[in-house]
Structure 1
Amino acid sequence: MAGKSVISLDVVIIVLLIACDKYACAIDDCRTHQFSKSINSTQMQFTKEAVSREYALNGQFKSLQCCSKGYRSVEWFKNGKPYPWSSSLILYPQAENQTIYTRHATVNDNGNYTCVIRNDTHKMEHIIEFTVQASLPDSPLATYKPHDQYIELGNEARFYCEAFVGSIRLPDSKNFISWFQVFEDGMEQNIKSQELIRREDDQIVGALLIVPAVELHNYGRYLCRIENGNAAHRLEMSAWLFGTPVHARNDSLFPALVLAISAVTLVILLMFAIKYISVYATSYHRRDKKLCHSMNSSESIRIREVV
């Protein structure tokens, strides 16, 4: 009996450790998919896309995150009231207070949650609208919508889209998410170099598209398509990748180059004009001299005939 009790206790401990690890991974999500520019920076900033809306099913686990760095303090507010509040969401100190979470979300947790980070001189804040769903949504609910970007040639472009889809337990029904590049004729090309992100037991799906060095063919419209079980329940979000406008160029050599080309062109045209006039004048002089010689010859013959 004692041996069985020890084995049972070990099993319970292992199960608890697995559960804790599962929740820890779900809670501490700020360490992954950070902006490349923030990795080696010490400035106060948000380190990844900050979602503006969050959803959860009633009674399910939920975490809200404010992924950032370079701050001295982090504060959370619910509907303008500082933590603690009348909500089941609590701070997760192991994530340096960047995350609040609950193991069992309820409708009492609905509200606007504001994360405020500060250093000695600046303050930044982000608001998340959180809603607890009574049942699975028919169509995906957007949590992060991609934004248009102006990126110069050779620089990195990054697009992210995300939606709450809930958990579908049917074997023949799956969620789908992907980025497409849309061309002028309406044709779509699926982009292979993208990373799919799933969190909170696959209830939230996202797609991260990174173009390491933008080339001319990368400019244009990009479409994020998310399907919840089938194509009838679809969410589409678009964003454009633009280059630097021509009028915004800061290149002092460009006007000088245009002026130089214009001056050279003018000189060449002037030289052609002078050459043409010279040739025409020479030809006219020869023709006039020949005509005079002809007239003199005719006059000489006429005088001879008279004599």
Structure 2
Amino acid sequence: MNSFTYSRADAVATAVRETTADPVAKFIAGGTNLLDLMKENVERPGHLVDITRLPLHQIETLPEGGLRLGALMTNAQTAYHPEVERRYPLLSKTILAGATAQLRNMATDGGNLLQRTRCYYFYDTATPCNKREPGTGCSAVGGYNRIHAILGTSEHCIATHPSDMAVALAALKAVVNVTGPDGERSIELADFHRLPGDEPQYDNTLRPGELITSIDLPAQGFAEHYTYLKLRDRASYAFALVSVAVGLDMDGDTIREARIALGGVAHKPWRKPEAEALLHGQPATKENFRQVAEALVQGAKGYSSNTFKIELAKRAIVRALQLAVDMQQPSPAL
């Protein structure tokens, strides 16, 4: 690990000012991902700005009926918050499907969105990686790529985003609020994370110095028909090969509205509103579920070791939709 300096911010403006003034500075809160990256010499910040004492530790009801999650709420606090459990059980269940209890007690909601890929080559500084060192190449394209992306890839990167929580937030159409040197702005979650394109070193659309302050959930939480299906190599504490977050608004056996987000398959949580629309006003049948699964995965590209993910994703979508209709939840992680 490289040497670095450290300071503790007492206000959002102070934290933003410190990181804006120092191009090698990073915010740190729970540190559950950043510290690992520093130990592996993947991230080498020259200065850390501790934001844990900023007043971003609350969950508040919004005037229009939604919920605002403070960016420094831990994953555990959010998952077990009574209002989240009652109104947004999809988010609660999804958070509990990720990481260990110890990590959920430390990881923050804002930090969860910013965690970086778990691509083996990204972590291995002895191998070329465009995300770590732009222009060096992508070792995963021609290497062992079983866990890698099948959607939204480019010749420069086929890494996946590892977050479970972000998949549920995508299905819920959450909004990320940030503060930076140019003031405050809000970013729809669909626009927060990036596809790799020609610049895979950038995971999201944050500008230099910007800090996530909160995450807004809309009033519609799909509390009556939802599920999070996570397929992985072992039953607990593993990243998703494919995951599916589903929220349905139903009138009897008819689907009024459907939200479907996929994890483990792309550089960002994967949604296609035009595919979801195929279910609107339609009966909840397996035939209709298969149709939307085909549409969601259309254009998928497998590589040498991960082609199986294409069919796995289709089957997972159908299964998750049926679970949401029947309100049966997959077995919880151990």
Give TM class, smaller chain. under 0.3
Q: Which has the higher contact order (CA 8 A, sep 6+)?
A: 2
| TM-score, normalisation: structure 1 | 0.21
Q: Whose strand fraction is larger, Structure 1's or Structure 2's?
A: 1
Q: What's the TM-score, normalizing by structure 2?
A: 0.20
